[in-house]
Amino acid sequence: MNPTYRQALAQLRGAQKPAARSAPAYSRFVNRRWGRYLAAGAASRGLSPDAVTGISALCTFSGIAVLALVPISVGSGVLVAFLLALGYAFDSADGQVARLQGRSSTAGEWLDHVVDAAKSVILPLGLGVALWRSDAVDDRWVVLPLVSTVVTSVLFFAMILTEQLRRVHGVRSRADVDPGSRSWVRALLVIPMDYGVLCWSFVLLGFLPVFLGVYTVITAASGLFLLLAAAKWYRELAALDAVRATAGASQTAVPPGASGSPSAEQVPA
């Protein structure tokens, strides 16, 4: 029997993942709350986490379709922003439904990541189509969303790969161990990279010069973040390799006079 909306909402309030202080403000304080309300509604209707992911994808790709196919105007910009933000809220809701129903799965996580990967590439390409179809700006502005496509896709892949390689070495991120460990300064600095901010920036689409200025700042900030983060992640993974190599050498080293295999004292616990 499905819980009522009020019951699901009450259960969800006690089943939230701890929020890292480094999370951008919109994602932490707005999108998670909206996702909780949507998750309660979905759970009260018996929707599965994968179904909620599907709704998220439908909202997001509908917004991208409006962006690419409908002439740029104030109204189309507002509609695009609303659909993208709604899709983002459902993206938060699917994980909350999974925790509420005890139905978290590897396949569900895979589906969520595939949808995220697709929208990170298709959204800037949709903007490129919109700019190319518009007579209000020079065609050279199409380069901007193409740059954004490269930045967002590389950043998404690098983040996922880094996390997987950490797991190979048995290392958890600092935010996982202590969600409150990161500073508010970083949380403020990553606001331009917040997907929610990107979604609502399309409200300005009808005021194209202003929108392009905002989108340029978002793309430049994301590119700078990618460069800094990539350098940090490379150093971190190189250090993990060095630790593994040192541990391997200590396990295989045989002191003079030893008969063969390392003693218990030589083998790390």
pLDDT, tens digit (0-9, with 9 covering 90-100), for 48-96: 999 999 999 999 999 999 999 999 999 999 999 999 999 999 999 999 9
**What is the CATH classification number for the domain harbouring 73?**
1.20.120.1760
| Alpha carbons 213 and 197: distance in angstroms, whole number | 14
Q: Mind listing the pLDDT tens digit for each residue in 111-155?
A: 999 999 999 999 999 999 999 999 999 999 999 999 999 999 999
Higher pLDDT, 262 or 209: 209
pLDDT in the model for residue 268? 38
Enter the tokens of residue 143.
Answer: 């380069």
Is pLDDT above 70 for 258? no
Residue 259 in any domain: the answer is: no
Residue 37 in any domain: the answer is: yes
pLDDT in the model for residue 190? 72
Is pLDDT above 50 for 177? no
pLDDT in the model for residue 200? 97
Residue 264 in any domain: the answer is: no
Residue 180 in any domain: the answer is: yes
Enter the tokens of residue 165.
Answer: 């390689």
Residue 266 in any domain: the answer is: no
Residue 188 in any domain: the answer is: yes
pLDDT in the model for residue 21? 53
pTM comes to: 0.85
Residue 214 in any domain: the answer is: yes
- The total number of structural domains in the chain stands at 1
Q: How confident is the model at residue 253 (pLDDT cuts 50, 70, 90)?
A: low
Q: Mind listing the pLDDT tens digit for each residue in 221-249?
A: 999 999 999 999 999 999 988 887 887 77
Residue 126 in any domain: the answer is: yes
pLDDT in the model for residue 266? 42
Residues 49 and 95: beta-carbon distance below 8 Å: yes
Range of the domain at 39: 5-250
